Amino acid sequence: VSRLLSIGEFSKVTHLTVKTLRHYHERGLLIPARIDAQTGYRYYDDCAIERAAVIAALKDLEVPLDDILEILAACSDDDDALEFLERQRERIRERLEKLKRVNTSLDRIITTQREARNLMIHQEVVEQQISSFLIAAIRVRGSFDQVGDIYKRLGRAIGFGLSGSPGMLVYDEEYRPGDSDFEPYFPIKDLKEAKREKIIAQGISVREIAGGRALTLIHCGPYDKVSPTYAKLFQAARTRNLNVRLPTREVYIKGPGMIFKGNPENYVTEVQMLVEEARDEATAVPPGQL
Amino acid sequence: VSRLLSIGEFSKVTHLTVKTLRHYHERGLLIPARIDAQTGYRYYDDCAIERAAVIAALKDLEVPLDDILEILAACSDDDDALEFLERQRERIRERLEKLKRVNTSLDRIITTQREARNLMIHQEVVEQQISSFLIAAIRVRGSFDQVGDIYKRLGRAIGFGLSGSPGMLVYDEEYRPGDSDFEPYFPIKDLKEAKREKIIAQGISVREIAGGRALTLIHCGPYDKVSPTYAKLFQAARTRNLNVRLPTREVYIKGPGMIFKGNPENYVTEVQMLVEEARDEATAVPPGQL
DNA sequence: TTGCTCCTCACGTCACGTGAGGTGGC
DNA sequence: TTGCTCCTCACGTCACGTGAGGTGGC
């Protein structure tokens, strides 16, 4: 039979703070063997050490104190606590899933912004090689006002398999403000067959779009001021004696953010035109133009 | 210019509860455009709707309200909030790691107990085929009192790569209470080369132990009452004209739990003896025995 | 008048941490 | 006497939720 321990000594043995021990006493979790009637001093016995170890083990598993109290009352063996532990596992799993989603969102926002910072550098027409990639897209005819809603539809259908900035394919041969033929897309990672079919069933096209030689130019500012950028690109194509292949593409490097709508003056869009060597001088520029 | 919204209307628009809106007002997060001096009624404008959307987006990312207040004061674009978001990601990641560890622990405790329940059924000598598996083990000579410490050493070194119940190999040819030759082990999953070497450097043996034909018997109760189980197994081997191959094995199906020490009377141990057909009748039973 | 919307306290949640102010024995 | 250990309030944390009790306009 060993000596009773004062709260300070017991605290060192159990690695629980004095405040915590007083709190556990108050909650009825861990009651001292003796309380000095004169001074109110708490004294703990060996039995309390074992109990404290159980409490600490459950606390490591993030079991709430109320549940710990129940478990201590009903169990004397891990096996007895199985139901409690399974409930606890369910709680932990739900929390884990939620945090994973938050983590993915944060990753996406951060990488998007980092990319935008990098791509904002060059401000003149650049010829580059674009590689092919997979997209999920919806082609529509009408006003650009619909674009926002279409991205929402795409986003909901795809969930979390995105990769990179959203974009749009523009099929118009001439400028058609209210009656345009365009196809907003999200670049996506390779999908499992089941998910792919589910997405296609919602009227979304999932396909690879071809890469190739392209002229590109960064446009900074609101979308409705993109015209000069198109003009410069067509001009560059003519100068270099290149044919532009439709559809042209817009990549929204920096648009409305996930959190802030942001200032349209700071939006960044890359306009891309796939090109090929012109065989006939006369057709080096497409018929319709801004 | 649209009409101002009462708190109830604004609550429906923003999907924030009235209580939450009052709380955000109090915290200075979302201040109504007008407060009726007479009634104290709060009225919100369109600008507040946008602000509420930003708050909701940040709340989804589990950013604390204090930080949201800071972000709203300093940022007008996702890009401006990058530092905050990176800090937030760090917080989320740490929490995620902790919860993963808790989840693994819970899984382990639950599966261990489930397994124990299943294995407790048969109570007589059973002949079965044991498969080979990988172990991390420390062989020592001395008293069984050390076993607890050795498991602690093993557990710390291995971390979270365990698979299945711990066990012990016993090399003694006769009963040697204080001077036994034994080897506690944990069954482990296949390890990466780097980790394997790190573990071996700590004096731990990592190897596969052979399986084979074995006689097994479940022992229920404290470890120091295991002798009759050994006796029955040796008896069974003799009856079947089989040779027992050392070391014998003990598998601790249910011992002290992760949470509760439990009652030793309820401990469950499987004793296993690998056997082979005896060629010579006289050596069917090993020389030393309990 | 009834029902609806809004208001302001005040208190609870969860597991303690942080003082303030005081006591008892070496 | 000083220093140490212990004590009991009381309040703070975090983001609200839950009443209680009351008001103003249709």
Q: Over the stretch A76-93, which tens digit does the pLDDT of each residue have?
A: 999 999 999 999 999 999
What's the CA–C1' distance between A21 and D1, in Å?
32
What was the pLDDT predicted at B73? Answer: 95
Higher pLDDT, B175 or A169: A169
What was the pLDDT predicted at B61? Answer: 97
DSSP three-state, residue A211: coil
What's the CA–C1' distance between B180 and C1, in Å?
93
Among residues A196, A188, A237, the alpha carbon closest in space to that of A216 is found at A237
Q: Residue B273's pLDDT band (boundaries 50, 70, 90)?
A: very high
Share of chain A above pLDDT 90, in %: 78
A residues 31-50 closer than 8 Å to B (CB) = 50
**Average pLDDT, integer, range A105-131:** 88
Structure tokens at B97: 């790691």
In the complex, which nucleotide's C1' lies nearest to the CA atom of residue B62?
D15
What's the CA–C1' distance between B100 and D14, in Å?
24
What was the pLDDT predicted at A280? Answer: 62
**Average pLDDT, integer, range B126-146:** 94
Of B75, B100, B106, the CB nearest to A89: B106
Neighbours of A190 (CB within 10 A): 8
**Average pLDDT, integer, range A181-197:** 92
Strand partners, B277: B242
B residues 171-230 closer than 8 Å to A (CB) = none
Contact flag A75-B112 (C-beta cutoff 8 Å): no
Higher pLDDT, B290 or A152: A152
Contact flag B58-A100 (C-beta cutoff 8 Å): no
> Using CA atoms, how far apart are residues A119 and A65, in angstroms rounded to an integer?
52
**Average pLDDT, integer, range A46-53:** 96
pTM score, two decimals? 0.84
Q: Over the stretch A5-33, which tens digit does the pLDDT of each residue have?
A: 999 999 999 999 999 999 999 999 999 99
Structure tokens at A132: 């092919």
B258 part of contact set with chain A, CB < 8 Å: yes
Q: Is the pLDDT of residue A279 over 80?
A: no
Q: Is the pLDDT of residue B104 over 50?
A: yes
B residues 74-103 closer than 8 Å to A (CB) = 75-82, 85-86, 88-89, 92-93, 95-96, 99-100, 102-103
Among residues A107, A255, A133, A57, the alpha carbon closest in space to that of B262 is found at A57
Mean pLDDT of chain B: 91
Q: Rounded to 5 degrees, what are φ and ψ at A83?
A: -65, -45
Residue that the structure tokens 């760090």 belong to: B90
CA angle (A3, A8, A12) in 5-degree steps: 85
Q: Is the pLDDT of residue A177 over 80?
A: no
What was the pLDDT predicted at A181? Answer: 95
DSSP three-state, residue A241: coil
Verify if strand D has an atom below 7 Å from the CB of A39: yes
Burial classification of residue A40, based on how many CB atoms lie within 10 Å of its CB (0-12 exposed, 13-18 middle, 19 or more buried): exposed
**Average pLDDT, integer, range B229-254:** 95
Share of chain A above pLDDT 70, in %: 95
What was the pLDDT predicted at A290? Answer: 45
Cβ < 7 Å from strand D, A residues 41-100: 41-42
Q: Is the pLDDT of residue A156 over 90?
A: no
What was the pLDDT predicted at B290? Answer: 45
**Average pLDDT, integer, range B86-104:** 96
What was the pLDDT predicted at B120? Answer: 73
Question: What one-character-per-residue DSSP string does A152-171 give?
Answer: HHHHHHH-S-B-S--EEEE-
What was the pLDDT predicted at B33? Answer: 95
Q: Residue A239's pLDDT band (boundaries 50, 70, 90)?
A: very high
In the complex, which nucleotide's C1' lies nearest to the CA atom of residue A41?
D6
Q: Over the stretch B10-34, which tens digit does the pLDDT of each residue have?
A: 999 999 999 999 999 999 999 999 9
Q: Do residues B149 and B199 make contact, with C-beta atoms less than 8 angstroms apart?
A: no
**Average pLDDT, integer, range A277-288:** 60
A residues 109-168 closer than 8 Å to B (CB) = 109-110, 112-114, 116-117
CA distance A187 to chain B (A): 21
**Average pLDDT, integer, range A62-67:** 96
Q: Over the stretch B138-185, which tens digit does the pLDDT of each residue have?
A: 999 999 999 999 999 998 888 766 778 899 999 998 877 789 999 999
Q: Which residues of A224-253 are buried (b: 16+ CB within 10 A; e: fewer)?
A: eebeebbebbbebbeeeebbbeebbbbbbb
Q: Is the pLDDT of residue B282 over 60?
A: no
Q: Is the pLDDT of residue A2 over 90?
A: no
**Average pLDDT, integer, range B125-139:** 95
A264 part of contact set with chain B, CB < 8 Å: no
Structure tokens at A100: 């994973």
CA distance A252 to chain B (A): 14
**Average pLDDT, integer, range B118-133:** 87
* Nucleotides of D strand lying within 7 Å of any protein CB atom: 5-8, 14-18, 23-25
In the complex, which nucleotide's C1' lies nearest to the CA atom of residue B38?
D24
For B113, name the nearest residue in chain A, comparing CA atoms only. A79
What's the CA–C1' distance between A5 and C26, in Å?
18
Mean pLDDT check: name the lowest of A12-26, A168-182, B31-45, B127-141: A168-182
